[in-house]
Amino acid sequence: MTSMVKWEEGDTAMRKIIVAKIVFSLSFVCFLLFSFGTRFAEADTAHIKIAWLQYPADWNCDEPGARVNLQTNPLKPSDWDIEWNTIDVQTASEEDFLQYGLIVISGHSSYSFTPEENGKLKHFLDNRGTIWVDNCGGLQLSNFILSVEFSNYEVQYMGQDIIVPNHPLIDGVYTLSSAEVNALGEGATGNSNLIVDKDPSYKELIREHATGEPLTLTYESTTGRIVITAQDVLCAIESVETEDLKFAYNVIGWSMVPFLQAAISPVSATIIIGQSILFSSSVSGGFPPYSYQWYLNNNPVSGATASSWAFTPTSTGNYYICLNVTDAQDTSAQTQVAQITVIITPVGGYSISTTYKATTDPSVLYLATFVTLTLFCVNIRRKTTKRTN
Ligand SMILES: [Zn+2]
């Protein structure tokens, strides 16, 4: 702790050291909690709760066959303990939905969710839920969270192209070869339905080769995920087709990946003009590696694309700083906005200025102490973050 020795030279050294010790102790406790928490999570068997969505149409066309095979197939990771239930969209509450990490929807028919039902699904999606819609052939869902429309006719199976090969649904729990992707679903028997219209928020993951139309879509945000498969993957699982089982385990694994979250520190501070303030960030979840862009007053700062950023204001006033983090799957998270107030102090510290009476006020000394401590905290946090990586 060589940095603390330097501080003994100042008038408020004792106060700084006491506060610094408290800050350090708290940081250390946080570090211990974080690291042990992570280890316990890794050691435990994953208990996964999945629900099949019950709605007033043929919701159970692939149930229980696909579910039983997913439970019993030896490809299921040995440390997964999967609990399957059904959930009735008409009678279940928003809270009931939040018990689950993954909701599976399948069918052959047309169904229009009521606004209330749509609200429950949306609430689930906004609270770290993952939804998998698998078209068993002829499915049309209306008033679903993000619109998706399947073709009404059967298409001739002509092969499937992978658009995002590193996506966790292709390269996750299992890595699917292009031959395996090509064989996904019941397409080979002519049941495959194309996706003919979609909300622009979806991204294409797999495309039909002959027509260039999407067969599999994903939606990913910092709070929820959706995968749409037009290939009737669940019926193929009823037929115990290996590539479809692997894909389904990738869907379950994807639903378990913590969502992207980002925060910056400090979130507020007052500094004296000419000083710098160092912002650090902490990012978790999503799919590393992450890329960074710092914003000052809503504008991207040129070259500020690292995990930390030193801001050196050249004029007084209030500044608003935030960070945008993007993960390897193009999901972005924006942090809270930090407010920095920049004030003037005369050169030389304690000389009395007629213009700025406030500089003689002891509160300025307090502010200086606060800034020093803030920078110290940032350093501690950065060290802690490095140690846990
Ligand atoms: Zn099916």
Domain boundaries along the sequence of the chain: 2-40+260-388, 45-256
Supply the pLDDT for residue 210: 82
57 burial (CB, 10 Å; 0-12 / 13-18 / 19+) is: middle
Q: How confident is the model at residue 194 (pLDDT cuts 50, 70, 90)?
A: confident
| Planar angle of CA 303, 306, 308, nearest 5 degrees | 115
Sign (positive or negative) of CA dihedral 124, 50, 77, 35: positive
- Each residue's pLDDT tens digit, 358-374: 333 334 444 444 444 44
Higher pLDDT, 335 or 63: 335
Asked whether the bond before 64 is cis by omega within 30 degrees of 0, the reply is yes
Ligand 1 centre distance from Cα of residue 108 (Å): 8
Domains 2-40+260-388 and 45-256 share a fold: no
If you average pLDDT over residues 206-219, what whole number do you get? 91
Is residue 254 within 8 Å of residue 244, measured between CB atoms?
Answer: no
Q: How far is the CA of 83 from the centre of ligand 1 (A)?
A: 21
Give the CATH number of domain 2-40+260-388; options: 3.40.50.150, 3.40.190.10, 3.40.50.1100, 2.60.40.10: 2.60.40.10
Give me the sign of the Cα torsion angle 348, 354, 360, 364.
negative
CA of 119 to the centre of ligand 1 (A): 26
CATH architecture of residue range(s) 45-256? 3-Layer(aba) Sandwich (3.40)
Residue 129: is its pLDDT beyond 90? yes
pLDDT band of 137, cuts 50, 70, 90: confident
3-state helix, strand, coil in the chain (%, to 5): 30, 30, 40
Tens digits of residue pLDDT in 70-121: 999 999 999 999 999 999 999 999 999 999 999 999 999 999 999 999 999 9
Distance 159 CA to ligand 1 centre (A): 19
Whether the predicted pLDDT of 264 surpasses 90: yes
Helix (H/G/I), strand (E/B), else coil: 205: strand
Q: How far is the CA of 266 from the centre of ligand 1 (A)?
A: 51
209-212-215 Cα angle (round to 5): 80
Specify the pTM.
Answer: 0.75
Q: Across residues 116-141, what is the average pLDDT?
A: 96
Cα(160) to centroid(ligand 1), Å: 18
